[in-house]
Amino acid sequence: MYWVAGPSEVLAITGWGIADISLAKKKWVWPGQKVIRVGISPVNYTFQVQAMSAEKLPFILPAVFTIGPRVDSDEAMLKFAKLISPHDKLSNHVKELVQGVIEGETRVLAASMTMEEIFKGTKQFKQEVFDKVQLELDQFGLLIYNANVKQLVDVPGHEYFSYLGQKTQMEAANQARIDVSEAKMKGEIGSKQREGQTTQNAAKIDAETTIIATKRQGEGKKEEIRVKAEVQIFENQRAAEVAEANAELAKKKAGWAQLSQLAEVESAKAVALREAELQRVVEQKNALTRTEKLKAEHLSKVSVEYEIKVQEANWELYKKQKEAEAVLFKQQKEAEAKKATADAAFYTQQQVADGALYAKQKEADGIAAIADAQGLYLNCLLKEVNGNYAALRDYIMINNGVFQEIAKINAEAVKGLQPKISVWSGANGGGESSAVSGMNGVAGVYSMLPPLFQTVHEQTGMLPPAWLGTLPSSSQSITN
């Protein structure tokens, strides 16, 4: 079915093929889809908000808010279609929602302002309420189209505004009486000031008139004297100018006569000078002709010699350049050969160093492998003796011939001392049988082991194996 929304409506479509909600003014609705008409016209909400100022003074704020969906934002329209459109805009649900937001923000704002600030700054208070309420309504996709805050009203039993109005009225009446008194005072003072100023101005004008008249008379006399002096000066100047004109005329007549005589003399001399100049020019032309001839002869000779010298110099320069280029080429080749030799020597040393490094690395690897093998060997032995470190140490010493070496060293030390040893086979000096005498020798050897073990323990800190014997206690004496 093809659906078309009204002028103040919009279609909200959900269902098959639509992820969330699709808003449109007209659209085909297919099976599996659901559509509802959402009204977008604003609605007026009238409230009587009870609030309290910072001084704990209660008051009533009548307000009318015109609220509707924000049609210029797709996101806001989606919020409105999801949250508000399921309910009638005139229902108690929507009205309580809007009223709760407005009352909450108004009370919070009023609690931070004094009553005087609220009363005098009604416009600012209204704008702050408008901004804070709009911020909360944005989450529902609503927009405040208009907000009209009426005059603040007293709460019964708290007539603050009425008393404030009476106070203002009395202050206005008192101020009016003060203004009337001040106006009367200003009128009387102004009248007296005007009369005094009139008298002062009249006296001032009379004095100024007298002064001006005196000044005018003096200026007239000075002007008359000045004019007479200027007339006399003009007459003297005219007489001097006439005398000067006569003298100038006589001087000009003498000058004209002199100039005439000089012109005649100059004319004669000019003819002679012109003849001499012409003769000099002729001689100069002849000299220039001879000079150019000699110059041409010598110049041709010098030009030929110059060309020869230039060619010789060019040849010498070319020869020296080629020699220098040959020397430079030879030096470059020698430098390249030295560089190649140095590179070869460096490569050889590098290979030797790499070989030595590789050998050291292999040697280190071998030592590490031996250490690993020895560690594994010791771990196996220690495991076989059930972790008995003393048994492991004794086994290693016996296996490596440490006891035999110690006995050999002690024997060598005793050999140099040449000790005297006496052996008794019996108390009666040999009265026993030969079998008993042989066992006494074995017993003597066995009796030597405790002192030997004691000596080894003192020198090396090692104990004899348990199967071979133990050290005597500290209280037990050792006898030979």
Instruction: Point out the domain boundary residue: 105, 125, 158.
Output: 158
Check residue 161 and give its pLDDT: 60
Same domain for 17 and 48, yes or no, is no
The conformational region for residue 368 under phi > 0 = left, psi -120 to 50 = alpha, else beta, is alpha
Mapping DSSP to helix (H, G, I), strand (E, B) and coil, where does residue 416 land? helix
Note whether residue 112 is domain-resident.
yes
* CA proximity to 153, closest of 123, 125, 115: 115
Check residue 284 and give its pLDDT: 83
Check residue 119 and give its pLDDT: 67
Q: Exposed, middle or buried by CB within 10 Å (0-12, 13-18, 19+), for 463?
A: middle
The rounded percent of the chain whose pLDDT value lies above 90 is 0
Check residue 29 and report its DSSP letter: -
Residue 209 has pLDDT above 80, yes or no: yes
Cα 258 to chain center, whole Å? 97
Instruction: Point out the domain boundary residue: 158, 193, 212.
Output: 158
Cα–Cα distance list, 286 to 275, 278, 291, 293, 294 (Å): 17, 13, 9, 11, 13
- Lowest mean per-residue pLDDT among 182-191, 203-212, 433-442: 433-442
Check residue 474 and give its pLDDT: 53
For 45-110, give the DSSP string.
EEEEEEEE-TTS-EEEEEEEEEEEE-TT-HHHHHHHHHHTTTS-TTSHHHHHHHHHHHHHHHHHHH
Query: What is the domain-level CATH number for residue 122?
Result: 3.30.479.30
Q: How far apart are CA 266 and CA 181, in angstroms?
A: 112
How many other C-beta atoms lie within 10 A of the C-beta of residue 259? 11
Q: How far apart are CA 243 and CA 325, in angstroms?
A: 99
- Residue span of the structural domain in which 4 resides: 1-39
Same domain for 16 and 83, yes or no, is no
For the segment 375-404, the average pLDDT, to the nearest whole number, is 82
Same domain for 146 and 121, yes or no, is yes
Note whether residue 375 is domain-resident.
no
Check residue 471 and give its pLDDT: 60
Q: How far apart are CA 76 and CA 350, in angstroms?
A: 77
Same domain for 149 and 79, yes or no, is yes
Name residue 312's amino acid: E
pLDDT digits (tens, 9 = 90+) for 415-465: 665 554 544 444 444 444 445 555 666 677 677 777 777 777 777 777 777
Check residue 463 and report its DSSP letter: P
Tokens of 230: 């200027």
Check residue 27 and give its pLDDT: 77
Note whether residue 126 is domain-resident.
yes
Same domain for 96 and 25, yes or no, is no
Residue 57 has pLDDT above 50, yes or no: yes
Note whether residue 127 is domain-resident.
yes
Check residue 468 and give its pLDDT: 65
Residue 158 has pLDDT above 70, yes or no: no
* CA proximity to 138, closest of 77, 64, 66: 77
For the segment 337-359, the average pLDDT, to the nearest whole number, is 84
Note whether residue 478 is domain-resident.
no
The DSSP bridge partners found for residue 52 are 58
pLDDT grade for 478, boundaries at 50, 70 and 90: very low
Same domain for 48 and 152, yes or no, is yes
Q: Are 70 and 76 in contact (CB under 8 A)?
A: yes
Check residue 152 and give its pLDDT: 65
Q: Which residue has the higher pLDDT, 109 or 155?
A: 109
Residue 354 has pLDDT above 80, yes or no: yes
Residue 368 has pLDDT above 60, yes or no: yes
Same domain for 139 and 44, yes or no, is yes
Instruction: Point out the domain boundary residue: 158, 187, 207.
Output: 158
Element (H, E) at 258: helix 160-384
Check residue 428 and give its pLDDT: 46
Per the structure, how many domains does the chain have?
2
Q: How far apart are CA 227 and CA 234, in angstroms?
A: 10
Note whether residue 122 is domain-resident.
yes
Q: Which residue has the higher pLDDT, 425 or 250?
A: 250
- Cβ neighbors of 50 (< 8 A, separation 6 or more) are 58, 59, 60, 61, 103, 155
Same domain for 73 and 121, yes or no, is yes
Name residue 228's amino acid: K
Q: Is the pTM of this model over 0.85?
A: no
Same domain for 96 and 109, yes or no, is yes
Same domain for 21 and 85, yes or no, is no
Q: How far apart are CA 163 and CA 51, in angstroms?
A: 19
Same domain for 65 and 148, yes or no, is yes
* CA proximity to 20, closest of 93, 101, 97, 82: 82
Note whether residue 369 is domain-resident.
no
Tokens of 382: 């220690």
Same domain for 16 and 97, yes or no, is no
Q: Are 38 and 10 in contact (CB under 8 A)?
A: yes
Note whether residue 151 is domain-resident.
yes
Average pLDDT of every residue of the chain: 76
